[in-house]
Structure 1
Amino acid sequence: MAATNKSAPATLPDVDVEKSIAQLWRDSLGWLDNHSLQILIAAAIATGVFFLLVGLRRLGMKLCDKEDHTGWLSVIGRAISRTGTFFMIMVSARLVSGYAQTPDMVARTITFLFTVSAVFQAAIWAREIVLGVIEHRAGTDAHRAEALGSAMGIIRLLVTVVLFAVAIIVVLDNLGVNVTGLVAGLGIGGIAIGLAAQGIFSDLFAALSILFDKPFRRGDAIKWDTTSGTVEQIGLKTTRVRAISGEEVVISNANLLNKELHNMARLHRRRHVLTIGVTYQTPPAVCAEIPAMIRAIVEAHPKCQMIRCGMTGFGASSLDYEAQFDVLSENYDEVFEARSKVCIDILQRFNAEGIEFAYPTQTSFTAAPDGTLVMPYPSETKLVTPDPEPATARKPRQAKDG
């Protein structure tokens, strides 16, 4: 008894490449013979469309040559200038393929090539627009290039990888490939990379936040936590601050934005408070004139604005005054010099008026046997120096008789 034959596994049908090419050649020749007029008209239209796209690309290049490289026109121009020649050819062919009544195989080939070129061209345009928006948001100041120099490299790499990964998935999906597993794998891989480089990405996004939000710039004087100094460099992971004590302080970007930060360079005015003490021997009439004296001294300086001045209390050894005034300048050197001049002028005026500054003093009083206070020093001091009696002139004492 003959054994039963098992069914063989299904196999893909063999494709005869030579026959397909021969069939494409015959269809093309027949198409050229039967539709020569339509082909000529379509070729002329395609050529016009191609040169129109070339003109738009040159216009984009001219927009890129402007001085403001971060303006919106420059951003759009830079994206247009990245238009590829192959994409322009495929756009021209795709627009006229229906009018020329191309064979089915040729039409499908044109559609496939147009889809691939359009997807990758869209990725290139999106990359240039995203990078242009980042540079535009970062600003056009003199320190922009240096601030972005260390960050733009990694930003360009990340944007390019993400956009072209999406483009490849779109192309494969249009070809009929099941991309579900690929998308899941990329998602899991992205999560793993994000967890492994969590600290790096945290500092990277913090650097982007500094560039976009601009809480400070290079050269600004800032105060952060216990550090005060001038920003020297904004890097990809850290910001370097030159402290007022001279050393360089390196601060993580993420840590820098997690605490309260004071930007001293954004001050249009700086307020100063002077505490002045005069002696208790100052007459009340003179004490009443001191606020007007200080106001006149402060307002005599062009960049100083008086806020208030008056007596604030009775100290242990002084009559206390407080003067508040603003210096209208962003330059700390000018502010410091203005305060110094105000202090010197107050000293000169007080010396001219005979007003004495108080300093810590202590006076001791003694009491008489009856309880009354006695001054610590006599009102009059008389020094009596008796003439010394010579030793030879002294008479010996005589003892009394009992």
Structure 2
Amino acid sequence: MTFSLLAAATTAAPKAAPARAAATNPIEDLQRYWDMSVAWVNTHWLQIGIAIGVGLFIYFLLSLLRRIALKHAQSAEGDMSLTHIAGRVIHKTKSLVLAIIAIRLVAGYAQPPAVIMQIVQLVFTVAVVLQGAIWVREIVLGLIQRRAAEGHNETLSNAMGIIRLLISVALFAIAGIVILDNMGVNVTGLVAGLGIGGIAIGLAAQGIFSDLFASLSIIFDRPFRVGETIKYDTSTATVERIGLKSTRLRSVNGELLVISNTNLLAKEITNFAHLHRRRVTFMIGVIYQTTPAMLRDLPALLEEQVKAAGQEFIRSSFVTFGPSSLDFELLFDVFSDDYDVVTAARTDVAIRLFETLAGAGYEFAYPTQTTFTAAPDGTMILPYAESVTMKTPKPAKG
């Protein structure tokens, strides 16, 4: 019985092998698809003809719209206007993509077999996703170049190569994942792998990418520009160059300061270029011998001189009793972006105040000390009391 089972298995094996081979024979599969396609054409030739005609009409209509939009965009003024960017996007629209869109729109009317419809859908998905990635890339790059042209930024212009590469890699990686997902491929592992790889690259080049994104933040946010004077930490300097990794500043003392962009944005920055009005403060001290009437008249006198100099008076008031002076505060504003104009106005007001106060009998206080000397019995003798009579000492007898 065992021999019979083995013989039966031996005789059955050769019969099963050809059946499996026939099921996976590509020539027979192609023949079957061909027969199916021929049958479809024979039974739906009218719908196919109508679909081809409508598809050609849609293709030529889309091509005409692209040509009109491109002509309108190229006739717009300005090299980096929004219309010019739209023209760049339209120019990157491929004719093959328009043809595939037209085929997809009319494919359903011809009622093709499921296999042909799946192929049309797959080609349509690939074409549209890749074309969308190209459109997005042109829009992003166009906006970046427009920003660089507005600020005449040499750094951003030089960095366009690496920016184009990073944007292209990111967009086409996303496009590839979308295409594979539509093809039925499980992209979970691929996305996880790309995420882990991106984290590894980011950690390895953390400092470089940090300074690069800080540079882009400076370029787009514009907290300062080249040629402007800023105060960074405890240094006051003029911006000479904004690089991809560092920014070069020329201090007021002449030293060249090279600061990484990340550290530069981590501190508080004061930009003097956008200071349209500057406030000037004077502390004026007069002597204690000034009469109360003169003290009451002093704020009005200070206000009069500030207005006579053409500046905006803010306030003037008594502040405190100083160690050797009666202190008044004067505040006024100078409306100018030029610091040289501000210093000239401050000098003019100071000289006016000195001349006016000196002419009105005011005396400016300066640090003084008075020493008092007393006799052994506590009587003050220096400074001399009025009751003390100075006597000339007699010469000693020889």
- Fold-level match, TM-score > 0.5? yes
Q: Percent identity?
A: 46
Structure 2 matches for 1:110-149, cutoff 5 A? 110-132=120-142, 141-143=150-152, 145-146=153-154, 148-149=156-157
1:69 alignment partner AA? M
- Number of corresponding residues: 374
Whole-angstrom distance in 1 between the partners of 2:373 and 2:24: 125
1:355-382 CA-to-partner distances (Å, cap 9, x unmatched) read 3323333444544676233447x9xx9x
Aligned in 2, Cα 1:40/1:367: closer, same or farther, shift over 3 Å? closer
**3-state secondary structure, aligned to 2:330:** strand
Match of 2:91 in 1: 81
**3-state secondary structure, aligned to 2:201:** helix
Match of 1:173 in 2: 181
Match of 1:13 in 2: 24
2:301 is the counterpart of 1:278? no
Whole-angstrom distance in 2 between the partners of 1:197 and 1:251: 19
Q: Cα distance, 1:96 vs. partner?
A: 3.1
- Contact 1:298–1:342 at 8 Å: present in 2 too? yes
Q: Cα distance, 1:23 vs. partner?
A: 3.3
1:230 alignment partner AA? T
2:301 is the counterpart of 1:289? no
Whole-angstrom distance in 2 between the partners of 1:247 and 1:21: 82
Which is further off, 338-347 or 280-289?
280-289
**3-state secondary structure, aligned to 2:26:** coil
1:16 alignment partner AA? I
Structure 2: tracts of 5 or more residues without a match:
391-397
Match of 1:69 in 2: 80
Structure 1: tracts of 5 or more residues without a match:
382-396, 398-402
Match of 2:325 in 1: 318
Whole-angstrom distance in 2 between the partners of 1:60 and 1:119: 26
Give the TM-score, by structure 2 length.
0.77
Give the TM-score, by structure 1 length.
0.77
Q: Cα distance, 1:298 vs. partner?
A: 0.9
**3-state secondary structure, aligned to 1:265:** coil
Q: Cα distance, 1:28 vs. partner?
A: 10
**3-state secondary structure, aligned to 1:156:** helix
2:216 alignment partner AA? L
Over the residues paired in the alignment, what is the CA RMSD in angstroms? 4.0
Q: Cα distance, 1:139 vs. partner?
A: 8.2
Aligned in 2, Cα 1:259/1:300: closer, same or farther, shift over 3 Å? same
Whole-angstrom distance in 2 between the partners of 1:188 and 1:111: 32
Q: Cα distance, 1:150 vs. partner?
A: 4.6
2:263 alignment partner AA? N
1:145-167 CA-to-partner distances (Å, cap 9, x unmatched) read 33533554433322211110111
Given candidates 44, 54, 71, the residue that maps to 2:66 is 54
Structure 2 matches for 1:381-392, cutoff 5 A? none
Whole-angstrom distance in 2 between the partners of 1:171 and 1:95: 20
2:172 is the counterpart of 1:164? yes
Judging by fraction of residues, say which structure has more helix.
Answer: 2
- Contact 2:316–2:329 at 8 Å: present in 1 too? yes
